Structure 1
């Protein structure tokens, strides 16, 4: 193995699932599933592929608050409708991304999209919580709804192997989402035998989610569908090869080396800021959003 290879720390199988509302059956890889360093990514909920039966009343999660971070939802199967108290709404379909900056405070709700709910079918999503630096935690909320066709793509081969650059930069291809700190979020879509190489600073926390397929990492470890590959904070280069047709979510970012205070849906720096968030929420300062 080359000296500058970013070596694998662990290949992690999904923890036991739990329900978020009645619409999301998730495996929490971190922070509760595994105690691994992934800042600025604070949480990774992975809804492995599951079939939902047809239903007239959409499943989902009702109105709830957030402050101090961003929620990033990446759709692979199924469809989710979003509404928030800043007046944003949108539906994400397979390949789409919803990037919501809660920042100083927002209420939102997420439900299966009505037509998908009536038909049922496969459902597979990733939701990330991306921490914000202290200086940005009280900035205005915003919403980026990014359609699959608008995601920047870096073509790797004539066979259709490609890197979708959701955020950050891959070689000379700049990502579609704006971020508050240096973050790389990619989808690698590789045919069997397809290869991709990545280069991230040694200090960046880095991991891969195998959404579909089976890959070999750095000519050594093999990772299967639904597993998470975590890397050591040393070396810079990663190579992956698809052992079958594969989709891989790549996460790498510069750690935010600041204290963290977390309580439920609030992610701040101090206990006092958490108390203030609760107080502001109770006083209606996060706005208003109807349940239905």
Structure 2
């Protein structure tokens, strides 16, 4: 019924922080326009170690980063001069386009020490016509995002369209992205209007066609499949997908439809042509010393 099951892998993104990495996966690099997905936390860290978790300024091209929190808070700063604290239920949508740098700082030790911080980070690849668009950033509040409830089901549409709902979050290609909470025994189905669809189990467990899937697994379905999802316990899912964009190359934090564009981005970062955030410009992540080609290079290291 499903195309593939992806098992999350452990990835270190900073000295004090490891995440579950779901995308990219060697057998399935993208689901619709989504080319990257990390699940961080819950984090329980002593206050004196908080600074180790900070993700220093780093660059992006050719994509939009999407930050979504279950708990805690994170401070975002970028080349545009934006400084934004993101809290649970909000969406930070940053379109890198032709090039941007940003940092993510964990400046509330109480949420880390209390094990509250938990977040999902995704990257959405841009259509070729938008890969060199002007960088932009928007924070969306929970009340700006559609919510639907039914017996045993709660869901928030983060972006795109699904189940007759439409999000006001600005996107560049047909897609959907949902936060779904199911009570034990609740049944749920995937939106049918999209070509590629994925279910990520963030908490709890589900049953589909007699098989059980648990935390850290993503199931990917192509168009036509109509699985019935049954929650075996209180469960949180992230559903995502959309229309495929075609081949994309990924190297470190750069995404592009052209290999030569990634080589240019590497040179731009190394030579300082991508500006640092004006309020966070005293340190940054250097370009990895790696001779690998795009699509086979070092795994993405940034949180978003």
Q: What's the TM-score, normalizing by structure 2?
A: 0.83
Return the offset for 1:106.
0.5
Aligned positions, number? 279
Which segment drifts farther, 83-92 or 282-291?
282-291
SS at 1:104 equivalent: coil
Q: Does 1:211 align with 2:211?
A: no
2:237 aligned partner: 248
Provide the C-alpha distance between the structure 2 equivalents of 1:11 and 1:282, rounded to a whole number of angstroms.
37
Instruction: State whether residues 157 and 178 of structure 2, in contact with CA within 8 Å, keep that contact through their aligned partners in structure 1.
Output: yes
1:276 aligned partner: 264
SS at 2:261 equivalent: helix
SS at 2:122 equivalent: strand
SS at 1:272 equivalent: helix
Q: Does 1:198 align with 2:190?
A: yes
Provide the C-alpha distance between the structure 2 equivalents of 1:177 and 1:24, rounded to a whole number of angstroms.
29
Instruction: State whether residues 37 and 122 of structure 2, in contact with CA within 8 Å, keep that contact through their aligned partners in structure 1.
Output: yes
Provide the C-alpha distance between the structure 1 equivalents of 2:115 and 2:131, rounded to a whole number of angstroms.
37
Instruction: State whether residues 6 and 217 of structure 2, in contact with CA within 8 Å, keep that contact through their aligned partners in structure 1.
Output: yes
In the TM superposition, what are the counterparts of 1:62-81 in structure 2 within 5 Å?
Answer: 62-81=56-75
Return the offset for 1:255.
0.3
2:228 aligned partner: 239
Aligned equivalent of 2:107, options 108, 113, 120 = 113
Return the offset for 1:283.
4.8
Measured against aligned partners, the alpha-carbon deviations of 1:262-289 in whole angstroms (never above 9, x if no partner) come to: 3222111222212322333345442232
Return the offset for 1:200.
2.6
Measured against aligned partners, the alpha-carbon deviations of 1:142-167 in whole angstroms (never above 9, x if no partner) come to: 1121233432101223x5x2221001
Return the offset for 1:123.
2.8
Aligned equivalent of 1:189, options 173, 181, 185 = 181
2:40 aligned partner: 47
| Residues 221 and 56 of structure 1: CA distance in aligned 2, closer, same or farther (over 3 Å) | closer
Instruction: State whether residues 23 and 111 of structure 1, in contact with CA within 8 Å, keep that contact through their aligned partners in structure 2.
Output: no
Pairwise CA RMSD: 2.3
SS at 1:223 equivalent: strand
Instruction: State whether residues 54 and 121 of structure 1, in contact with CA within 8 Å, keep that contact through their aligned partners in structure 2.
Output: no
Instruction: State whether residues 102 and 276 of structure 2, in contact with CA within 8 Å, keep that contact through their aligned partners in structure 1.
Output: no
Return the offset for 1:188.
0.9
Return the offset for 1:98.
1.6
Provide the C-alpha distance between the structure 2 equivalents of 1:129 and 1:192, rounded to a whole number of angstroms.
31
Q: What's the TM-score, normalizing by structure 1?
A: 0.86
| Residues 126 and 33 of structure 1: CA distance in aligned 2, closer, same or farther (over 3 Å) | farther
1:164 aligned partner: 156
Instruction: State whether residues 54 and 117 of structure 1, in contact with CA within 8 Å, keep that contact through their aligned partners in structure 2.
Output: no
